[in-house]
Amino acid sequence: MTEGKLRRFLSLAILALMAALTAQAQAGPPAEESRPALAPTYRIFATREGLVGHRTANGHIIQPRDRFVALPSWTVLSPRGSDTFRVRLTYKGRTVIAPVWDVGPWNTTDDYWNVNRRYKDLPVGMPMAQAAVLHGYNGGRDERGRRIQDPNGIDIADGTFWDDLGMTRNDWVEVTFLWLGADPGPGNAVPIEVPAPAPAPPPAPPPARPVTVEPGAIAVDNGDPGFAASSAPWSEAACGLGGTHAWVASTGDPAQAVARATWTAQLPGAGFYELRAYIPECGERATASARYVIYHDDGMSEARIDQQAGAGTWVALGTFRFGANGAAPRVELSDLTGDERRVVRYDALAWSLRQDGAPPAAQVTGIRRKDNGYQITWGGTDDLSGIASYDVQVRRLPRGGWTDWKREVEVTTAWFGPDEGKHFAFRVRARDRAGNVQPWPEEAQMDTTQAGT
C-alpha cells in the first residue's frame, strides 16, 4: 500500500471509530426494561410440614429429612421429581433453593405472589392465612371455613427446615419466587414491604328480634311501674321487650349479692296463672341458674332457670294460684346464682290466665310389709293447678266392698293394720286446686299380696 493510500485508510478508520463512540454516548445506558427483573422476595411465616410417609399433592411420598416446600395454590405445583417451580428460602444468613411439591397450608387457591391473585382485596405478597390471623380477614377462616391457627403462607419439609436453614421453630423467612424473575443469589434477596390491609369496618350487630306477648297476658317489663330494683351497679343492653333490659354480674357468694329486683302485677281476678320470664339474647354469657322466687296464694316457690339456654324465648316458671287472698302477685330475682362472673338478665314477666278443666291422675305406688300391717304409698300428677288432696279406699279380699280409709288428705303414705292374716286391696283418687276430682278407678290399683318386705 502506498503512503497516500495508507493515510487515507487511517483517516477513514479514525472517523468511523469516532462516529461509533458518539452514537454510543448519545444512546446512553441500556434501557431498564431490557435488564432481567429479579424475582420478588416476601417475608412469609413458615411452618414445618413433617408428615413423613404421607403423599404430597404431586404424588411424592415424604421421606425423613426431605427437601421441598408447599405453597397454597395448585398453579405452581411441580410435577413429581421435577423443580419446575422453585423458591429460594433465606433465614438468619442461611439460604437454599427448594422445589414446590405440595399444596398448602390451609388454602389451595391463594396465589398471593401473583399480581392478579384470587383475593384481590389483599396486597400482593400477603398470604390469606396471615391476613386472617393478624387482621381478621374472612372472619379468621380459610377457604373451607376452618378457623386458621397460624399466619403461615408456606410449609417447609424437615430436611430443608432443620438441616438447610437451621430452623428450630416456626418463624418468618424470606421467600423468593424464582419463576417470576432472576435469582438474586445467596443472601442478596431484599424482601418487598407488604402494607397491611385496610381494617374492615366492624359488622353491624343484627337488629334485635321483636318480642311479642301472648294475647291476654299481663306483662310487666323492667321499665314499667310494677318493676322495682335495688341500688346496685346496673347495666343496660339494647334487646328485650321494649328494646332494652337490665343486667348485673352473677355471684355464688351470698355476702357479695347486692342486686335484687321485684315484679308486681295487677291481675284482673283470682285464678291459676302460668308465669313466664322473657330472657333477652344479646350481651355477655348469662347465668345457668337464675333463682326466681314466686310469691303466690299457696306460699312461696323457687324456679331455677338456665338463662343462657333460654335466651330469646319466654321460659315457663310454673303455674300458680294468684289473687284469692288479696295480695298482689310478686316475683323476686337477685344476683345470687350457682355460678360466678356471668350475667343475670332482668326483662319482662308475663302472667297468663289458665283454665284447669282436667282432673288429676293418682295411683297407689307401693305396699310394704311393716310390723303387723302394711305401709301404703300413693301419689299423682296434675297438668295445671296441682293436687290439693287425696281420697283412699280399701276393700277386703276376695269379695269385700269398697270403704273409705282416707278422705281429703295431703299426705302420700300411711300405715294400715293390723291385717290379722287377711289381705286387702287399695285404690286412690285425687282432686286438684281448681276443684277437679278424678273418678274412682274401676279396679284395685294394688293389693297386699303384692307387698314387699
pLDDT at 444 over 80: yes
- Among residues of the chain, what percentage have pLDDT more than 70? 90
Range with the lowest mean pLDDT among 193-207, 213-227, 353-367, 415-429? 193-207
Local structure of 401: helix, strand or coil: coil
What is the distance between the alpha carbons of residues 181 and 223, in angstroms, rounded to a whole number? 70
Does this model's pTM top 0.75? My answer is no
pLDDT at 358 over 50: yes
Query: DSSP label at 160?
Result: I
- Mean pLDDT to the nearest integer, 421-436: 94
pLDDT tens digits for range 133-176: 999 999 999 999 999 999 999 999 999 999 999 999 999 999 99
Q: Report residue 26's pLDDT band, with 50, 70 and 90 as the boundaries.
A: very low
Domains of the chain: 41-180 (2.40.40.10), 218-354 (2.60.120.260), 361-450 (2.60.40.10)
Range with the lowest mean pLDDT among 191-200, 300-309, 317-326, 418-427? 191-200
pLDDT at 194 over 50: yes
Mean pLDDT (the chain, rounded): 90
What is the per-residue pLDDT for 33?
Answer: 47
What is the per-residue pLDDT for 151?
Answer: 95
pLDDT tens digits for range 81-112: 999 999 999 999 999 999 999 999 999 999 99
Neighbours of 248 (CB within 10 A): 23
pLDDT tens digits for range 400-413: 999 999 999 999 99
Q: Residue 136, CB half-sphere, CA atoms under 13 Å: how many?
A: 6
Estimate the share of the chain in helix, then strand, then coil, as percent rounded to the nearest 5. Answer: 15, 35, 50
Q: Which three cell numbers, joined as nine digits, stand for 300?
A: 312461696
pLDDT tens digits for range 222-264: 999 999 999 878 999 999 999 999 999 999 999 989 899 999 9
pLDDT at 23 over 50: no
Q: Report residue 9's pLDDT band, with 50, 70 and 90 as the boundaries.
A: low
pLDDT at 7 over 70: no
Q: What are phi and psi of 63, to 5 degrees?
A: -105, 160
What is the distance between the alpha carbons of residues 131 and 373, in angstroms, rounded to a whole number? 81
What is the distance between the alpha carbons of residues 130 and 280, in angstroms, rounded to a whole number? 37
What is the distance between the alpha carbons of residues 144 and 106, in angstroms, rounded to a whole number? 9
Is there a contact between 117 and 124 (Cβ–Cβ < 8 Å)? yes
Q: What are phi and psi of 76, to 5 degrees?
A: -120, 25
Burial of 411: CB neighbours in 10 Å, binned 0-12, 13-18, 19+: exposed
What is the per-residue pLDDT for 294?
Answer: 97
Burial of 294: CB neighbours in 10 Å, binned 0-12, 13-18, 19+: buried
